[in-house]
Amino acid sequence: MTLTVKSVARVSLVSTLVLATVGAAVLAASPASGAASTLAAAAQQSGRYFGTAVAANKLGDSTYVGILNREFDMVTAENEMKMDATEPNQGQFSYGNADRIVNQARNQGKRIRGHALAWHSQQPGWMQNMSGTALRNAMLNHVTQVASYYRGKIYAWDVVNEAFADGSSGGRRDSNLQRTGNDWIEAAFRAARAADPGAKLCYNDYNTDNWSHAKTQGVYRMVQDFKSRGVPIDCVGFQAHFNSGNPVPSNYHTTLQNFAALGVDVQITELDIEGSGSTQAQQYSGVTQACLAVARCTGITVWGIRDTDSWRASGTPLLFDGSGNKKAAYTSVLNALNAGTGTTTPPTSTTTTTSNPGGGGCTATYSEGEKWNDRFNGQVTVSGTDNWIVTVTVSSPQRIIATWNTSASWDSANVMTARPNGSGNTFGFTIMHGGNWNWPAVSCRVA
Ligand code: G2I
């Protein structure tokens, strides 16, 4: 009991700190002296990047290019690497516009996120009409060709984009690709790994920000499954398109942390938040804080530069106005990055939670135990049922070496399944940390 209370108190304290930081960030007119003065430089202080989507047809706009060159160190082609752009006719590849973006970025010392190798949308006409083995082979050939063409130039590929259904199913989205067989995603990842072994391979989706949403859980289970079976996946992209109907969730940090605990990087890949003024600025700051608080959140990309460049320009969702002036949202992001609370090797204060995402039944609460140079102890307290199954997932190179007050087993993928052994509803374990002090992800279900 005491343990649960301590843990809850810590979570509340961190929330308060985040809110206080947001307030301070919005009030400040300019960065403190000594702080970095661009988004990229500010993000680099914690080893992260700050990127933007770029459209090839705007590379002649000097205001646009001026902001791009000054503020960002990662670039995503907004449309130019999609399947319809790169393979307009089957077997005929077209890289002109994508290359303009890649060359501009590389000449400026920026890195590139590739977007996207396989997707149900933006397929060329010839592919839309295909099905079965012919489509599967055409998709794999596309992945192989495009990833090979850009081998060595891409930091991370969105290998598969938006493959999960919206709503309560938590399952796959129906599409011609899905109908080729449920293994189409892992087949795409294997082809991408073979074509460009140096690129991080990401699964990228939207509406996966709220930890309690079925879609988020569906993607989580897929990544967990891929990690356990050795399917090559390195990262998960959270598009993060927010507005009043799809607001920044209060559990955003939990989502990022729980995915990271599976042993993948997480990236915010297409951030935009509709709105204006201090409300928008606070939301931007909160998203930035959530990334900074997760060691494996390696960077943030906004989906365009000026509001007028946005795919939903009327929502004014970006960091610069139509004239290229910095908005309040820009200042709040810059200040959050400069606040420097985040680190790529954080100490022990990560607030991994604890819950039954399916709703109902039970709650598992993690709290810290003793720490040593090479290992630390943790406890989990379960409430809501005496008949629980708790999953504890640690992230590489961590490994669980001992447990007490539970009947548990764990596998090479660092996932432990714990059940009651008659000792009550609090159990403990020891983790060899290998320098990774992140808390494990825990979740609970009724047996
Ligand atoms: O819809 C927002 C994003 C959601 N996640 C995946 C992203 O790839 C997606 O980006 C948007 C682009 O921002 C739009 O610019 O994807 C849309 C569809 O691919 C893009 O819109 C397309 C229009 O539908 C086309 O009519 C247009 O020719 O942009 C094309 C190029 O301007």
pLDDT tens, residue by residue, 338-388: 996 444 433 333 334 445 545 568 888 888 887 776 778 899 999 989 999
In the predicted model, is pLDDT for residue 438 greater than 70? Answer: yes
Give yes or no for residue 79 CB within 6 A of ligand 1: yes
Higher pLDDT, 208 or 345: 208
Distance of CA 311 from the midpoint of ligand 1 (Å): 7
In the predicted model, is pLDDT for residue 121 greater than 60? Answer: yes
Would you state the pLDDT for residue 6? 29
In the predicted model, is pLDDT for residue 4 greater than 50? Answer: no
Among 311, 312, 314, 318, name the best residue to mutate to test ligand 1's pocket (greatest count of ligand atoms within 8 A of Cβ): 311
In the predicted model, is pLDDT for residue 13 greater than 60? Answer: no
In the predicted model, is pLDDT for residue 415 greater than 90? Answer: no
Q: What is the Cα–Cα distance from 151 to 40, expressed in whole angstroms?
A: 24
Q: What is the Cα–Cα distance from 340 to 436, expressed in whole angstroms?
A: 19
Would you state the pLDDT for residue 396? 74
Q: How many CB atoms within 10 Å of residue 218?
A: 19
Percent with pLDDT over 70 in the chain:
87
In the predicted model, is pLDDT for residue 175 greater than 60? Answer: yes
- How much is the average pLDDT of 392-420? 86
Banded pLDDT at 117 (limits 50, 70, 90): very high
Among 58, 59, 76, 78, name the best residue to mutate to test ligand 1's pocket (greatest count of ligand atoms within 8 A of Cβ): 78
Average pLDDT score over the chain: 88
Nearest by Cα to 228 from 99, 426, 393: 393
Would you state the pLDDT for residue 340? 66
Would you state the pLDDT for residue 410? 82
Q: Whose alpha carbon is nearest atom 15 of ligand 1?
A: 311
Q: What is the pLDDT of residues 229-243, one digit of tens each?
A: 999 999 999 999 999
Do residues 261 and 221 lie in contact, with contact meaning Cβ atoms separated by under 8 Å?
no
Would you state the pLDDT for residue 43? 95
Higher pLDDT, 409 or 434: 409
Residue type, 177: L
In the predicted model, is pLDDT for residue 198 greater than 60? Answer: yes
Q: Residue 28, by phi and psi: left (phi above 0), alpha (psi -120 to 50) or beta?
A: beta
Banded pLDDT at 27 (limits 50, 70, 90): very low
- How much is the average pLDDT of 71-85? 98
Q: Is 312 exposed, middle or buried (0-12, 13-18, 19+ CB in 10 A)?
A: middle
Give yes or no for residue 78 CB within 6 A of ligand 1: yes
- How much is the average pLDDT of 219-248? 97
Which residues, in sequence order, are CB contacts of 30 under 8 Å at separation 6+?
331
In the predicted model, is pLDDT for residue 218 greater than 90? Answer: yes
Would you state the pLDDT for residue 290? 95
Q: Which residues are catalytic?
A: 162, 270
Give yes or no for residue 350 CB within 6 A of ligand 1: no
Determine the distance from the C-alpha atom of residue 444 to the mean position of all C-alpha atoms in its chain, rounded to a whole number: 23
> Mean pLDDT: which of 19-23, 64-68, 401-405, 432-436 is highest?
64-68
Is the peptide bond prior to 138 cis by the omega test (within 30 degrees of 0)?
no
